[in-house]
Amino acid sequence: MRANDEDGDGRKQWIVAMARKFLYFIAIVAVLVVAGGFILSIWSRELTQIALVPSADFVEQDPLADNAYADPGMWYSRPGIGTDDPARWQPAFRGQERTMATPAGAQVPDFAVFFVHPTSYYNRASWNAPLDDEDAVARARVFLRGLASPFNQASEIWAPRYRQATVGAFMTDEPEGQQAIEAAYEDVAQAFAYFQDTIDDDVPIILAGHSQGALHLLRLLRERVADKPIADRIAATYIVGWPISVDHDLPSLPFPACATAQQAGCILSWSSYAEPADATDLFTAYGKSVGFDGAPRGNSPMLCTNPLTGAVGGSAPAEDNLGTLVPGDDLGTGELVPGLVPARCSPSGLLLIGAPPELGSYVLPGNNYHVYDMPLFWQNVKRDALSRVRAWQATS
């Protein structure tokens, strides 16, 4: 289903404006700036477009078969996959007995998670990722191990494959970029419809996504959840790594921001920076972008949920961090380290984590910890998800 023209224009301007936030991460992961010690701060927009924006014409994506998502192969995570399910991965705790998010013997209620993974396709050969692209598939599985695994207490986790827009689609204002993003969303919407039809009618739902996945969830909320019966079943929505304007976006969404850790039917969102934080490019792009209400976002604050408290704004010390997922060098392994970083929401809506922690080589310029938005607070997110589901049960 297509958004109306007014919504589409606003979304396009926001997507183009937000591209810079993800630029350096993609450049690093794509190994485009490693050789010769290339200095990231002079990596120009023009060179990046040459390297990552497809030069070919956009090819309209054939609609998936009506029953495409009935095929288990169309899911990275879903019931029945078994030990190969990346979202079911469990990291170990470093140097101490494991601290459980749920007390021993406590019952974990049934709940289902629909998770949309971030961009894992960096090839400029096409505007949308082929479903069988080996590099994109491998990266997506790594991302799910770090980003979706905090929800592994769920009775069901569903994470679809989809023909995601290549990263270059977010770096151009040409119509092909928006067409690629639209095509990716159509797959996500179809996967969500199958998920909705498949899970039990009385099971609470958590929606979660990061980066491109969060963008698609925002549209899903407005088009497939708002004013629909399924809205009553949403225990929480995690829109992480894609800013939401408190004034110009949040009122157009079907749920409010989570004010407390005991609240259900609400939205959590944050973007992580160590200090000193330099988010100049982000704020510049954000200020010029258009909100869901059609007005410029300007200096309106971004929604900042503190993942250590589960509430909007405020601060919490490192001692409240139950476990940061510190990845191994290959990003395929990792361990949980309690008390590693604090969290404090700035007036503008950045989530500040104090001095830069050593988490690996994927920290972005300006002390931007976008890649680690979820892993920084892995164990707290795990606890938070369970708290939201229990709050939903108490009010349903």
pLDDT at 45: 54
Could you tell me if residue 345 is inside a domain? yes
Cβ neighbours around 120 below 10 Å, total: 24
Distance in angstroms (rounded) separating the CA atoms of residues 345 and 279: 14
Distance in angstroms (rounded) separating the CA atoms of residues 130 and 127: 9
pLDDT at 83: 85
pLDDT at 33: 30
Could you tell me if residue 164 is inside a domain? yes
pLDDT at 173: 79
Contact 241, 210 (CB under 8 A): yes
What's the farthest any 2 CA atoms get from each other in the chain? 59
**CA-to-CA separations, 343 to 137, 293, 320, in angstroms, rounded:** 32, 30, 9
Domain with 377, as residue range(s), is: 5-62+86-97+109-395
30 closest CA partner among 50, 58, 55: 50
In degrees rounded to 5, what are phi and psi of residue 240?
-110, 135
Contact 35, 158 (CB under 8 A): no
pLDDT at 52: 84
Could you tell me if residue 351 is inside a domain? yes
pLDDT at 26: 38
The DSSP 8-state label assigned to residue 31 in this structure reads T
Count of helices and strands (H, E) across the chain: 7, 15
Could you tell me if residue 226 is inside a domain? yes
Q: What is the mean pLDDT of each run of 10 residues along the chain (396 residues)?
A: 50 44 38 30 51 85 96 97 91 65 68 97 93 96 94 97 93 88 97 97 96 96 97 98 96 98 97 95 84 95 98 98 89 88 98 95 90 96 98 93
Distance in angstroms (rounded) separating the CA atoms of residues 163 and 268: 26
Distance in angstroms (rounded) separating the CA atoms of residues 180 and 172: 11
pLDDT at 151: 97
As given in the structure block, the two tokens for residue 312 are 């909007």
Cβ neighbours around 68 below 10 Å, total: 17
Could you tell me if residue 44 is inside a domain? yes
Could you tell me if residue 242 is inside a domain? yes
pLDDT at 15: 44
As given in the structure block, the two tokens for residue 120 are 């894992």
Tell me which residue has tokens 């707290």: 380
Could you tell me if residue 104 is inside a domain? no
Could you tell me if residue 79 is inside a domain? no
pLDDT at 101: 52
In three-state secondary structure terms, 115 is strand
Length, in residues, of the chain: 396
Number of folded domains that form the chain: 1
